């Protein structure tokens, strides 16, 4: 899905306000997310875009995708979920404990209240925004042992943003596929590091 259809999403999620679409549209500027488009078309499948070892790979794990740059690229793979395509994204680029999950939201949110983030039925935690970049503004959630276990054992969570009008908007996100994607990220990081160590030697 390359365009946001908030109205359709509202009707599919009980209790979501009908004006969510209007609020999000009023605060959102299009965000170019590298996983948008192709990744959403391959949920539940695994895709090798060009079949070669030196090509971009997108591997889907239900609602999460692992995106791996060509092996000749020094960048590592990343695990991401597009909560609202083009607008709200969760991104983890390091599977080690103590790394931080990036929560990217559109420009136009009120920065002072911070961003609300919860996992499963855990209480909402508030995180301050770190900075804003061309794609939007983001907050960082530290992935410690407890947080990782919650991410791996729950099915969903919520992101809460505060638009300019001051009325908080709650947006649910899915954790379906996170656990498998996280393990794949660990395995791929180890494989790449091992490969480069061999080449360096």
Is residue 75 a part of any domain in this protein? no
- The number of beta carbons lying within 10 Å of the beta carbon of residue 160 is 16
Q: Is residue 42 part of a domain?
A: no
Task: Give dist(CA 33, CA 135) in Å, integer.
Answer: 8
Confidence at residue 128, expressed as pLDDT on a 0 to 100 scale = 97
Segment (H or E) for 125:
strand 125-127
Exposure string for 5-29, b = 16+ CB within 10 A, e = fewer? ebeebbeeeeebeeebbebbeebbe
The pLDDT score that the predictor gives to residue 174 is 98
Output the pLDDT for position 195. Answer: 57
Is residue 188, in this structure, part of any structural domain at all?
yes
Specify whether the CB–CB gap between 17 and 10 falls below 8 A: yes
Structural domains of the chain, count: 1
Burial class from Cβ neighbours inside 10 Å (0-12, 13-18, 19+) for residue 33 reads buried
pLDDT at 74 (0 to 100): 74
Range of the domain at 149: 6-31+82-200
Q: Is residue 52 part of a domain?
A: no
- Written as tens digits, the pLDDT of the chain (201 aa) is 333 333 333 333 334 433 444 444 443 333 333 333 433 333 333 344 434 557 889 999 999 999 999 877 778 899 999 999 889 999 999 999 999 999 999 999 999 999 999 999 999 999 999 999 999 999 999 999 999 999 999 999 999 999 988 789 999 999 999 999 999 999 998 887 775 554 554
Q: Is residue 76 part of a domain?
A: no
Q: What is the CATH number of the domain that holds 89?
A: 2.60.40.1880
Q: Is residue 59 part of a domain?
A: no
In a domain, residue 172? The reply is yes
Residue 77 lies in a domain: no
| pLDDT recorded at residue 53 | 57
């Amino acid at each position: 899905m390359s365009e946001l259809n908030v109205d359709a999403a509202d009707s599919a999620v009980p209790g979501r306000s009908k004006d969510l679409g209007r609020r999000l549209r009023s605060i959102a500027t299009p965000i170019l997310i590298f996983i948008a488009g192709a990744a959403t078309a391959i949920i539940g499948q695994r895709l090798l875009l060009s079949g070669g070892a030196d090509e971009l790979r997108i591997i889907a794990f239900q609602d999460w995708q692992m995106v791996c740059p060509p092996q000749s690229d020094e960048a590592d793979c990343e695990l991401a979920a597009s909560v609202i395509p083009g607008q709200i994204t969760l991104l983890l680029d390091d599977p080690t404990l103590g790394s931080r999950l990036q929560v990217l939201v559109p420009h136009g949110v009120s920065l002072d209240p911070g961003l609300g983030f919860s996992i499963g039925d855990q209480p909402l935690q508030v995180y301050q925004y770190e900075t804003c970049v061309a794609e939007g503004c983001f907050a960082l959630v530290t992935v410690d042992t407890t947080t990782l276990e919650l991410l791996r054992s729950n099915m969903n969570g919520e992101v809460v943003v505060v638009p300019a009008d001051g009325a908080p908007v709650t947006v649910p996100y899915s954790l379906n596929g996170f656990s498998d994607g996280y393990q794949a990220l660990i395995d791929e990081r180890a494989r790449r590091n091992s490969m480069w160590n061999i080449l360096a030697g």
